[in-house]
Homo-oligomer: A and B are copies of this chain.
């Protein structure tokens, strides 16, 4: 019997309990204390990006209803849009069956059409595997990244 067949999962069990501890304790962060988080645009259904949250980022996201991630490269909280102005307003937070992945529905603010990607594209998922087995960019750059990050807001947050 595979582990996939084992029920109830931790989350199934948690839902049935009456006295729950903090909602944060239900989330299963990985061995680095991080959680993969998918941002889906509410208006279009487009998957915009996947990033990571630690416990503090998740708590701040819930408090502010704005996406706050944890930047693995910078090793600190990343308030999405802090430099670019491309803030994500969070409408819902959904956890998966293993309680180790989060799905946000968001409104991507700051530009029209919306830009979630640091390359200036709508979505981070803009490279498709074509029939020749090559990754090809399939979405336009809506705004020059240098213009996005050279704004006064970027350097004087």
Contacts and interface: CB of A to CB of B under 8 A. Distances in A.
Interface of A: 2-5, 7, 9, 11-12, 14-15, 20, 23, 26, 36, 38, 40, 45-47, 49-50, 62, 71, 73-74, 83, 92-99, 101, 103, 117-119, 121, 124-129, 133-138, 145-146, 149
A11 B139 CA distance: 14
B119 A97 contact: yes
B97 A126 contact: yes
A63 to B, nearest CB: 10
A136 to B, nearest CB: 7
Contacts of A133: 23, 62
Copies in the complex: 2
Contacts of A92: 128-129
A95 B15 contact: no
Nearest to A8: B119
Given A2-B83, A50-B36, A118-B5, A11 B145 contact: no
Contacts of A95: 125, 127-129, 135
Nearest to A78: B4
A11 B128 contact: no
A20 B119 contact: no
A124 B119 CA distance: 30
A127 B23 contact: no
Nearest to A36: B36
